Amino acid sequence: MMSGTVVDSSSPTAAAPDDISGSVLELDEDEDLEVFSKDTNFMDGSSLNTSMQTSPGSMVNQYKFEEEEEQSDTKDIFVTVDNPESHVTAIETFITYRVLTKTTRSEFDSSEYEVRRRYQDFFWLKCKLEEAHPTLIVPPLPEKFVMKGMVERFNNDFIETRKKALHKFLNRIADHPILSCSEDFKVFLTAQAWELASHKKQGPGFLSRMGDTVRAVAATVRGVRNRPEEFNAIQDYVEAFSQKMTSMDKITQRIIKEQKEYLEEMKECGPIYTLWSGSEEELVEPLKMMASCLDRCCRDSEEHTQYLSSNLLPILHEYVLSTETLKAVLRRRDNIQAEFEAKNEALATKKTDSEAESKMLSLAWDSLVGKDPDEIRQQKQQKHKGEIKELKEEIDKLEDKLEWANNTLKGDWSRWQKSMRSDLKAAFTYTAEKNMEYYEKCLAVWESFLLSQRTEASEGGDRDES
């Protein structure tokens, strides 16, 4: 299926340990029939880097993410999303993107791959990663909403926005020390369209997904009683962070909208000064200079607004989406603990019922006709012992599953925080620099105008004296 030559046999070959599966997410095979972002300004440059990928072999128990991120020279997989193409069929219109992969990992059959993927393929990958690693923080995808007022179903701004967001999505996965080793990620990067379609059909069946969904809902309703304090702290942090990022995102969108409106009005102002200069002989030069200054400020304002739209806003919006991912991860962790607690309660109940039933049999043995009360008691006790043994085995498995979930979430939480703080710090610092640059340019424009008028006034005074 995937042929090629191995480039570097020293690359990490150990696959990520199979994470304990949480509730299985349901997939819609037509997820991208309406593939739109809420905001066509959600454009993303590749200015902010995430951690570098390393082999997961040393992370089975401890997940030493921070130590591995320091090894920035070990990055061995590079992914690019580009060259979008529109496809029109009798049923639907959709966009595919070229995904180019270069890698030195020995588990890949070749060093380079080129495939085409549509949005629903990216969505499938995200769901598979969440299914296999329920307590790892899978990076968010851009939303798939129809933007109100959009004239064209797939305009150039939307396509560019979606392409950059998908590029970041894949590179965040490629930089993750566990997610990048997923077999589903490898298939996504390397398989041809028909191979990917075949792989998709190998997922759990409908009844299995329904069962997992019912268990997840039941666990959510039941809730958890003794959640560790550190996860309470994480949840409180996420709630507060979500509110702040949502407010920042909305305010930034409003600022951009107001700046665009200001820019349009300023563009209308310049030509008025030019027309005015034709009817005021004594003000020709000042009016023309005003028009020129406004034109220069328009260009600077347009550049500044474009920066906010294509660099600051995408970072803020990505972390708005990330908060929803974090909340879902915490819910999945809680579901595992709720199931563990429920099994412990069932075991305690089973032991109590067994003791009570044994006493009842000993008291009522003489009422039984034709049966040996000792034999009946032994049968009942044997049955209860078997049920109790099964429950204990299930509890042991759930205890291991819960411990694994806690460790993976704590490790990835630290990793996510480090990446988030680096991203936002870089975005805010660069925004401050761009703001200073913008206002300095505008200030220089108007200072030059004032200087020219003062010089002209001084020259006029000298002429009057002479």
Q: In what order do the strands lie in the sheet with 77-88?
A: 77-88, 93-103, 112-118
What pLDDT does residue 315 have?
93
Say if CB 184 and CB 4 are below 8 A apart. Answer: no
d(CA 98, CA 23): 31
Taking only the tens place, the pLDDT of each residue in 328-364 is 999 999 999 999 999 988 888 877 766 666 555 554 5
Q: Which candidate, 43, 94, 49, places its Cα nearest to that of 72?
A: 49
Structure tokens at 294: 């406004």
User: Residue 115: helix, strand or coil by DSSP?
Assistant: strand
3-state secondary structure of 45: coil
**What pLDDT is attached to residue 200?**
87
Query: Which pLDDT does position 464 carry in this prediction?
Result: 56
Q: Is the pLDDT of residue 219 over 60?
A: no
Question: What is the pLDDT averaged over residues 85-91?
Answer: 85
Residue 6 has pLDDT above 90, yes or no: no
Assign 260 to helix, strand or coil.
helix
Reported confidence tier of residue 249, pLDDT bands at 50, 70, 90 = very high
Instruction: Return all residues near 70 (Cβ < 8 A) that are at least 6 apart.
Output: none
Q: Is the pLDDT of residue 7 over 90?
A: no
- pLDDT for residue 204: 60
* Higher-scoring residue by pLDDT: 212, 1: 212
CB 273 within 8 A of CB 291: yes
Domains delineated in the chain: 1-195 (3.30.1520.10), 253-457 (1.20.1270.60)
In the structure encoding, which two tokens stand for residue 409, read together? 């979430």
pLDDT (average), residues 211-222: 53
440: pLDDT strictly greater than 70: yes
CA-based nearest residue to 55, from 71, 42, 43, 39: 71
Q: For residue 321, what are its two tokens?
A: 């989406």
The better pLDDT of the pair 244, 46 is held by: 244
Two tokens, residue 30: 């037509």
Q: What angle do CA 61, 125, 314 make, to 5 degrees?
A: 95
As a whole number, mean pLDDT of residues 405-425 equals 94
Tell me: pLDDT of 195 over 50.
Answer: yes
pLDDT digits (tens, 9 = 90+) for 368-391: 545 566 666 677 777 777 878 888
Tell me the pLDDT of the chain averaged across its residues. Answer: 78
Q: What is the pLDDT of residue 372?
A: 60
Choose between 175 and 42: higher pLDDT.
175
State the pLDDT at residue 387: 79
Which of 50 and 139 is assigned the larger pLDDT? 139
Positive or negative CA dihedral for 245, 250, 255, 260?
Answer: positive
- pLDDT at res. 89: 83
One-letter amino acid for residue 372 of the chain: D
Q: How many helical (H) and strand (E) elements, i.e. helices and strands, does the chain have?
A: 10, 3
% of the chain surpassing 70 pLDDT: 70
Q: Which residues pair with 98 in a beta bridge?
A: 82, 116
Structure confidence at residue 24 (pLDDT): 36
Average the pLDDT over each of 37-41, 91-95, 207-211, 316-320 and give the range with the smallest value: 37-41
